[in-house]
């Protein structure tokens, strides 16, 4: 029987008190520690001081200081990184009042900020945390040509300031019938119109930037938050996350990126395996669709092997819990990696896709995604192979705090 985590009184304290408490001094012993920065360590130890990893190595080489809280697990991994979700905006109850992931009043809304809608206390955030998910790239869902911004957050904290790693991570766009409107007065109603209004918006943003650059201080145009954000995409300060599944829509996304010289990340990409050479040549990473998506409509040709095909072709990939417009709206990215591991990815490749590879695509790999000295003290603890159905997450640590001991 696997040794359980030591129960500590602080884990029963309310969230608001925990979020302001001093970081614990913690040591974690694992029969196997997957650092994701090199070879796994048998009989390994990870020491966390003041929220940061201070030591990692074999037990006979790491000295645990006196008085540290010592935890034991069979398997220790970095805290998991969900590369794309809507958790925190799409809530547990699935009622209108807790569904802030999509705004349908206009087809292009890059000014909408995820941080203004994210609920740190939503039960779904707590739920994914109990499976070892410590970092999530979340925000406005697919469903409009541009639905809004995304953010990168830790899954524990009292306020938005406590959890935010990146305030504006990407701008979420959709090239899919899910973002098309029905009825003659509504726009966009076709793929051609969808691409046209995107191109028009980028051209207007460029003209807006030029006017700002040329105008005297007292004659500058009125601020336009939408065009400002589109301008940041043009300046490659922020990337466009494009949800596209059919090969023709993926090709349109690549063409748009080339035309305006912008950085994009492909999202979902059910038929990406039909355009492997084109995606690789463009140097575009892919956040692969959840295997548990319903294989209907634009995703009818999705495959359990998509992640493996892209990975083995040399395309950077990560996995996601994703979004669909029905309950429960939120999956657990750990299970997505398990399915990928059963369908072409090796264990290490699957674990990388929800740790260091996801962190690299999101640009937060200097802080999270691997167990290395100086990185955030985010760990997931398991009582067996994390991809086995019979295994459980027995503990989650974020910034050196034990934030879950629920056995999942």
pLDDT per position as a tens digit, 85-118 = 999 999 887 777 888 899 999 999 999 999 999 9
CATH of the domain at 48: 2.30.40.10
The 10 Å Cβ neighbour count of residue 203 is: 13
Measuring CA to CA, how many Å separate 225 from each of 108, 232, 265?
12, 11, 22
Q: How far apart are CA 109 and CA 225, in angstroms?
A: 9
Helix (H, G, I), strand (E, B) or coil at 351: helix
Average pLDDT value for residue range 21-44: 90
User: Which residue segment(s) compose the domain that 375 sits in?
Assistant: 9-79+371-404
Model pLDDT, residue 364: 98
CA-nearest of 358, 356, 361, 354 to 339 is 354
* Residue 14 confidence (pLDDT): 35
Domain for residue 68, yes or no?
A: yes
CATH number at residue 344: 3.20.20.140
> Both 264 and 345 in a single domain?
yes
pLDDT at residue 384 above 70? yes
Residues 6+ apart with CB under 8 A from 247: 271, 274, 275
For residues 237 and 376, membership in a common domain is answered with: no
Segment 202-238, tens digit of pLDDT? 999 999 999 999 988 778 889 999 999 999 999 999 9
Stronger pLDDT, 250 or 177, i.e. the higher one: 250
Q: Are residues 274 and 288 in the same domain?
A: yes
Residues counted in the chain: 408
The Cα–Cα gap between 340 and 350 comes to 6
Same domain, yes or no: 139 and 187: yes
Using 50, 70 and 90 to split pLDDT, how confident is the model at 66? very high
Question: Which tokens go with 174?
Answer: 């959709």
Q: Are residues 134 and 22 in the same domain?
A: no
pLDDT tier, 6 (very low <50, low <70, confident <90, very high otherwise): very low
d(CA 70, CA 381): 13
Tell me the average pLDDT across 287-295: 91
The DSSP string of 42-65 is: EEEEEEEETTEEEEEEETTT-PPP
Q: Where are the alpha helices (DSSP H) in 130-273?
A: 160-163, 191-214, 225-234, 247-260
Chain mean pLDDT for the chain: 92
Confidence class of residue 329 from pLDDT cuts 50, 70 and 90? low
Residue 176 CB contacts under 8 Å (≥ 6 apart), including other chains: 142, 243, 244, 245, 246, 249, 298
Judgement on whether residues 154 and 244 belong to the same structural domain of the protein: yes
The pLDDT of 397-405, averaged and rounded, is 96
Reported as a pLDDT band with limits 50, 70 and 90, residue 328 is low
Specify if 1 maps to a domain.
no
Let me know if 280 is exposed, middle or buried by CB neighbors in 10 A (0-12, 13-18, 19+). middle
- What is the C-alpha to C-alpha distance for residues 301 and 298, in angstroms, rounded to an integer? 8
Q: What is the pLDDT of residue 95?
A: 78
Do 229 and 343 share a domain, yes or no?
Answer: yes
268 occurs within a structural domain:
yes
For the ranges 2-11, 113-122, 361-370, the lowest mean pLDDT is seen at 2-11
Instruction: Tell me whether residue 4 is in a domain.
Output: no
pLDDT at 1 over 70: no
165 in any annotated domain: yes
Using the predicted structure, report yes or no on whether residue 186 has a pLDDT greater than 90. Answer: no
Q: Are residues 280 and 335 in the same domain?
A: yes
Query: What is the total count of domains within the chain?
Result: 2
Under the banding of pLDDT at 50, 70 and 90, the label for residue 184 is low
| 12 confidence band (pLDDT: 50, 70, 90) | very low
Task: Please say if the pLDDT value at position 393 is more than 80.
Answer: yes
């Amino acid at each position: 029987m696997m040794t359980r985590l030591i129960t500590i009184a602080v884990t029963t304290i309310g969230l608001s008190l925990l979020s302001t408490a001093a970081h614990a001094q913690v040591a974690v012993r694992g029969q196997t520690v997957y650092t994701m920065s090199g070879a796994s360590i048998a009989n390994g130890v990870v020491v966390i001081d003041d929220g940061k990893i201070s030591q990692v190595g074999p037990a006979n080489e790491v000295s645990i200081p006196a008085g540290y809280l010592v935890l034991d697990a069979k398997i220790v991994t970095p805290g998991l990184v969900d590369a794309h979700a809507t958790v925190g905006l799409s809530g547990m109850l699935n009622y209108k009042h807790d569904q802030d992931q999509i705004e349908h009043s206009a087809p292009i809304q890059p000014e909408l900020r995820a941080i203004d809608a994210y609920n740190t206390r939503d039960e779904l955030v707590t739920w994914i945390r109990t499976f070892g998910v410590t970092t999530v790239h979340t925000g406005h869902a697919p469903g409009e040509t541009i639905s809004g911004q995304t953010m990168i957050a830790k899954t524990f904290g009292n306020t938005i300031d406590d959890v935010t790693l990146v305030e504006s991570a990407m701008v979420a766009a959709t090239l899919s019938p899910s973002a098309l409107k029905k009825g003659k007065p509504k726009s966009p109603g076709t793929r051609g119109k969808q691409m046209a209004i995107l191109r028009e918006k980028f051209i207007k943003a460029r003209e807006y930037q030029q006017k700002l650059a040329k105008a005297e201080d007292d004659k500058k145009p009125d601020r336009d938050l939408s065009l400002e954000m589109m301008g940041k995409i043009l300046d490659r300060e922020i990337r466009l996350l494009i949800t596209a599944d059919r090969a023709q829509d993926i090709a349109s996304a690549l063409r748009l990126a080339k035309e305006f010289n912008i950085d994009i990340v492909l999202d979902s990409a059910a038929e990406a395996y039909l355009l492997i050479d084109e995606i690789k040549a463009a140097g575009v990473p892919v956040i692969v669709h959840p295997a548990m998506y319903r294989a209907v409509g634009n995703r009818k040709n999705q495959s359990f092997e998509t992640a493996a095909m892209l990975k083995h072709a040399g395309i950077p990939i990560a996995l996601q819990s994703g979004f669909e417009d029905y309950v429960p709206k939120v999956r657990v990215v750990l299970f997505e990696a398990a399915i990928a591991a059963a369908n072409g990815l090796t264990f290490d490749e699957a674990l990388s896709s929800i740790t260091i590879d996801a962190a690299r695509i999101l640009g937060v790999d200097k802080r999270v995604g691997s167990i290395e000295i100086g990185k955030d003290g985010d760990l997931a603890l398991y009582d067996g192979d994390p991809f086995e159905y019979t295994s459980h997450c027995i503990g989650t640590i974020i910034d050196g705090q034990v934030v879950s001991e629920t056995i999942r």
